[in-house]
Structure 1
Amino acid sequence: MNKKGLMMVSMSAMLALAVAGCSTTKDGGGTPSNSPTAGGSAAPKNVSLKIGLPGAYDVTKKEIIDGFIAKYPNIKVEIQDAPWGDFVTKIATQIAGGTTPDVWLQENAVILGYGKRGVAEDLAPYIKRDLKDADYIPGLYAAKTPEGKVYGIPHGINPVALAYNKKVFADANIPLPNDNWTFNDLIETAKKLTKNGADGKPAIYGFVGNFTITQGWFPWIKQAGGQALDSTLTKSMFNDPKTLTGIKQLADGVKQGYFTSDDFQKANGGEMQTFATGKAAMYILQYSNQVAINKNFPDADWDVVKLPKAVDGKRYVPMVTNSWLVSSKASQDVKDAAWTFLKYYLSDESQNILASSGSSIPVKKSAFEVIEKSTTKPLNKKAFTEGIAEGGVTLDENPSWTEWRTAAQPIITDIVKGNIPAEEGLKQVHEKVQAVLDKNK
């Protein structure tokens, strides 16, 4: 799991700050008359802009920040950085005290929570004015609410694909996965690839069983036609029989011994090492994990295909997103400067730098060429880029995502580990998640 993408912070009660709505009244320039500044998109002269960087330049490429400073000398940039955990702890106090940076990034679900509390500016009017949807993948709108407000711009997209160990397949003389696979193909092939050792216990498994959300249970419920939440993101769908089917398929694989158990993974250095060293043939892999595999297991022979298709014939590719937000408390001049920074971040120049990093996928389509031409493993990076273009989905994120996911996860973990029947466990999950959603209406 991408710890940057899913790191959580418990937020205390924030000051209720009014977010200016996007008026439909227009001035002579044909743009909304309140926010953003009507009549033009140029950043004001001689303005100071505080940019918050959790994780500092380990997370945000310094070349992008330096490029922005060089291109816009009229904007005086102040960087506020700290280790990720320290930053997100401090930001809660800064929000309460009205001393936040003008623009900063955090997890997408947290950004949505900020929007609900009036902390984050609605960027929908800016996007409508200055960007062309055709230039970007749908992930541009990862922080969009059902009501149409957009509280963040992606810092990067971290989707999943199906990784496979070529040696394990070759040794078993079994055809490699392909983009037409369904999850049933994955299950049946995993059974064939599982081999016992001299002690009669599996020494090689067909698939890495994972109980976390992005690489584990969420893809499984989506492929079965299930959901975590409904389309309004206000009702739990953990009582949906299709959601139960997906969870049971994952849990049955672990129970019946063709998916790795948690104990097996721990005994073999973790899920990534289990896969890279050929003790498991397949693995739902987040894009950012390629960096660690290539660094720690350079001799591993592996590649990826798109995540298998669901029972309805469609593809659903979960993606983790960190997002930039603009403080709603900033003056309009500073908001315009912040938007100028975000437009620069979304430009070809910056998106190509992000694409070259290998740590996440940009949202501008033109930068995909940089990714797809890369010669580092996996070679088939189109499995990620085309996968999210075809079926990228967020993790049913809403303002209470951190809370409801935290309530659901321990029970789902027990289900996948075989400690509680799926039917009983999901009933508990449904009740707990719905209670969280009702409390946060």
Structure 2
Amino acid sequence: MARKSLLGIVFSVLLMLLLVVGCSNETGVDEGGKPSEGTKENQPTDEKNVEESLEPMTTDEITLTYASWSNPVLNQFLAEKFMDKYPNIKVEIVNLEFDGWNDHLTNLASTGDLPDVYWYLGNVDVPIRNGWLGDMTEYFNNDPESDNVLSTMKGMGYFDGERKLAAPAQYLPFTIYLDENLFDKLNVPMPSPDWTYSEMIDLMQEMTVPEQGIFGYNSFTQLLTMAPIVNQDAFGEFGWDGEKYDLTKDWADAMTQHAQFVRSGVHAPFFDTDEAEAAFGDRLLWAASTGRIAMQLDAWWTMGLFSQPEFVDKGIKWVPYVVPRGDNASALHKPAFTDFAAMSSATKHPREAYELMKFFGWGKEGWLAKLEAFETLKHDDGSLVFTFPDGGLPLIDDAEIWNGLKKLLPQTEYVSNFLERAKEPIPLGGASQPGFQTFLDEVYFGGEYGDVQAAIIDGSVNAHDISQNLTEMINKYREEAMEELFW
């Protein structure tokens, strides 16, 4: 299968988002997004507890609107389940094209039709500046179910440190796929599920065999994103620690390492290049489908694709590993694609909109409904709608939900090991950190160095030489964005 056709499958659910953000100690998370000493242990919650902690839901007949780029069949199923629970509430799914998503939201907002609950894409400055984000602080802080949200996710959405204006809605971890058959062929033992970052780097080199045309790794996700998070126990890209960024060490080291691997042939040739054509005989063939790549740095959603005949029939056996732990790390922080949801600041029913957002996102009842959909929904011909669970991993630390999802996934030790080590996700990018996307656009990919990553790979720029300047610039962009948006 050509890479372009594969991209059509893989990137239909592409979610380029987000970073961790600070919040107050009232939520059990300090202003750096780190769980505080006052964080409550996860405890079972029930509907009675929620009703006693939050104001009652309305009994009036109302309509709520919801928009996300999640699977439309799943969205409709969840809407029906929510309406079964609350017969007085009608839920209407607003279907928008993914391309130009924020433009569609802008158009709806201009006519007073912004959905009651919606996902926003990319630059969080846009919904903040336009006043789209409704304040859910009181609901989230007083909801017993919030105690069960994954510890690294609890603090996200507190953009000004006090008010919770958004919440994670979907979480898909970075995933390192290893071709077990290729490891067997080269008689190299598979690494421990508790492997470290330096072990991964060493394996990339060991698994590179030029005389057999075998490459150590291919990348969609990047070492430069992983390294600061796992090695610094960071709470976001570029070494974000909850107060500031630091690109001077792990980012610079990882970027330099990646550039060296690209130039030396440890990394596979890039798609649609003369080098790819020379190596694979087809410049448009995705390297991960050649059977000559030891590791594919990718994302959780690709696991369903890797189970297809395109790979299996070639004798490729991709198995999932979590991003390795930092060599001296004290946490299991892992980079993750995370989608954020918000309730409209103009909603007439904020209490009910919050409940809808939770049901579609992190709530246990909603997750039970998702598991039911994955297991039971069928097409007219009797085939399952979902051959692979299409909703990422749970956002709550609840054994029933995690075990329920595990049963629907391949029953292998690799999957079990992965799930056990994937409960400290760290989001990426501009959807949760003011000023971040503007920095990327104006400095990182379009400033004095041009495309920073490309310049370092081709050797025209040294990562360590520019890392201090980039650090100063990204912290400046954040400070200016915070001043503009919140003060």
**Shorter-chain TM-score: what band?**
0.7 to 0.9
1:83-232 matched pairs, under 5 angstroms = 83-107=97-121, 110-111=123-124, 114-115=127-128, 117-138=130-151, 139-145=153-159, 147-197=161-211, 203-210=213-220, 214-225=221-232, 228=238, 230-232=240-242
Identity among equivalent positions (%) equals 16
Structure 1: runs of 5 or more not aligned: 9-21, 23-35
Task: Name the CA shift for 1:156/1:417 in 2 (closer, same or farther; >3 Å).
Answer: farther
Q: Which residue matches 1:41?
A: 56
Deviation at 1:117, TM superposition (A): 4.7
Does residue 246 of the first structure (1) align with residue 243 of the second (2)?
Answer: no
How far off is 1:105 after superposition? 1.4
Q: CA deviation at 1:50?
A: 1.8
Structure 2 Cα separation of the partners of residues 416 and 163 of structure 1: 23
Question: SS at the partner of 2:142?
Answer: helix
Normalising by the residue count of structure 2, what TM-score does the alignment of the two structures yield? 0.72
Matched to 1:217, the amino acid is L
CA gap of 1:146–1:298, structure 2 versus 1, over 3 A, is farther
2:477 aligned counterpart, secondary structure? helix
TM-score (norm 1): 0.79
Change in CA separation of 1:65 and 1:228 when aligned onto 2, cut-off 3 Å: same
Matched, 1:318 2:335: yes
- Structure 1 position 415 matched with structure 2 position 456: yes
CA RMSD of aligned residues (A): 3.3
Question: Which secondary structure does the structure 2 equivalent of 1:208 belong to?
Answer: strand
Establish whether residue 342 from structure 1 lines up as the match of residue 357 from structure 2.
yes
| CA apart distance, 1:103 | 1.0
Q: What number of residue pairs does the alignment pair up?
A: 401
2:375 corresponds to 1:361: no
2:170 touches 2:393 (CA, 8 Å); kept in 1?
yes
**Alignment partner of 1:392 is 2:434:** no
Deviations 1:69-111 (A, max 9, x none): 232221122322122124432112333443311111123x545
Give the C-alpha shift of residue 316 in structure 1. 2.8
The answer to whether 1:308 aligns with 2:324 is yes
Residue aligning to 1:401: 436
User: C-alpha displacement at 1:181, in angstroms?
Assistant: 1.6
Contact 1:80 1:101 (C-alpha < 8 Å) held by counterparts = yes
Query: Whole-Å Cα distance in 1 between the matches of residues 157 and 81 of structure 2?
Result: 26
Segments of structure 2 that go 5 or more residues without pairing to the other structure are 1-9, 18-25, 27-50, 375-388, 446-450, 483-487
Q: Counterpart of 1:143 in 2: which secondary structure? A: coil
Native 8 Å contact 1:166 1:302 kept in 2: yes
SS at match of 2:63: strand
In 2 relative to 1, CA 266–3 (structure 1 residues): closer, same or farther, beyond 3 Å?
A: farther
Distance in 2, matches of 1:94 and 1:148, equals: 28
CA distance in 2, matches of 1:413, 1:178: 33
Structure 1 SS opposite 2:94 = strand
Contact 1:143 1:152 in 2 (8 A): yes
CA contact under 8 A between 1:100 and 1:327: conserved in structure 2? Answer: yes
Shift of 1:39: 6.4
Shift of 1:125: 1.6
The answer to whether 1:77 aligns with 2:99 is: no
Q: Does the Cα contact within 8 Å between 2:54 and 2:142 map onto a contact in 1?
A: no
